[in-house]
Amino acid sequence: MASPLEINRLDQRLKGIITDAFPQAQIEYCLTCGMCVSGCPASGIEGLDPRKFLRLLLLGQDEELLSSNWIYACTLCARCRHACPMGIDIGRMVYVLRGLRPREERPPNLQRSCDLQKQSNSTGIPNEDFVWVVNDVLEEVRENEPEWRDLRAPIDKAGAEYYLNQNAKEPTVEPEEMVPLWKILHAVGIDWTYSSKWWDGANYCLFTGDPEDWEFTVRKQAETVDALGVRYYINTE
């Protein structure tokens, strides 16, 4: 059974920030029906769920909300919004609250991954290593699997039809996991390419709640795709 809310000092600062940011949010329309909780993958983590989160916000429990790491457990999947009969978008509120946390108080691994990604990629491996790993794995597949001797994993191919980004974890620790998608693209005749820079598709800066960092990383990838003259962007994440 969920623990009851304990009401401390009432504070309406966060509620005001939310309603100013989203005048259409209609957070006062919450029926406490619990539909938001039914499909929430983060329900119960850190003792919170979407309904309890909204109750704390409405009841002015700002200190508890800002100190809870539940806002980082939330995946921003929007299931709560789709389930809510009043259309309340709790995910957008969670994103705003993340941005209110000082950088030094955010989950350290999350912030570190974002900071690394702003330099190149979230694992911090040199771009030259990424290029080397791709080519090395490709050569190994060609040698060990004769039926795939024509397999391609192009990098910086100008004018390709599709651009593919890559979760940085795979070339760093699980390079063989890149191969199945290469094979699919090859089998169906897709004209695609990686880039040798800004190739990381896992955008950790989205999850820190800092819109400037998020925009920076997205813009860098978009500029890379445009520079290659690629028409379509395949976001693996």
Give the whole-angstrom CA distance, residue 137 versus residue 148. Answer: 12
Instruction: Give the domain CATH number at 60.
Output: 1.10.1060.10
- Residues spanned by the domain of 57: 13-101
Q: Are 167 and 234 in contact (CB under 8 A)?
A: no
Do residue 230 and residue 198 come from a single domain?
yes
Asked if the structure places residue 37 within a domain, the reply is yes
**pLDDT band, residue 4 (cuts 50/70/90):** low
Q: How many domains does the chain have?
A: 2
Asked if the structure places residue 5 within a domain, the reply is no
- Mean pLDDT for all residues in the chain: 91
What is the per-residue pLDDT for 18?
82
Which residues fall within 8 angstroms of residue 33, CB to CB, at 6 or more apart? 85
pLDDT of 54-112, one tens digit each? 999 988 898 889 889 999 999 999 999 999 998 888 998 999 999 899 999 999 999 99
**pLDDT band, residue 27 (cuts 50/70/90):** confident
Do residue 164 and residue 91 come from a single domain?
no
**pLDDT band, residue 50 (cuts 50/70/90):** very high
Do residue 69 and residue 153 come from a single domain?
no
Give the whole-angstrom CA distance, residue 77 versus residue 40. Answer: 8
Do residue 171 and residue 150 come from a single domain?
yes
Do residue 134 and residue 201 come from a single domain?
yes
Mean pLDDT of 137-143: 97
What is the per-residue pLDDT for 20?
82
Tokens, residue 141:
């597949």
Mean pLDDT of 150-179: 95
Give the whole-angstrom CA distance, residue 141 versus residue 118. Answer: 32
Tokens, residue 183:
């094979």
Mean pLDDT of 187-201: 95
Do residue 127 and residue 203 come from a single domain?
yes
Distances (CA, A) of 112 to 3, 207, 215: 34, 12, 17
Asked if the structure places residue 7 within a domain, the reply is no
Asked if the structure places residue 202 within a domain, the reply is yes
Do residue 48 and residue 84 come from a single domain?
yes
Q: Are 202 and 170 in contact (CB under 8 A)?
A: no
DSSP type of residue 166: B
Do residue 190 and residue 169 come from a single domain?
yes
- Which pTM value belongs to this model? 0.80
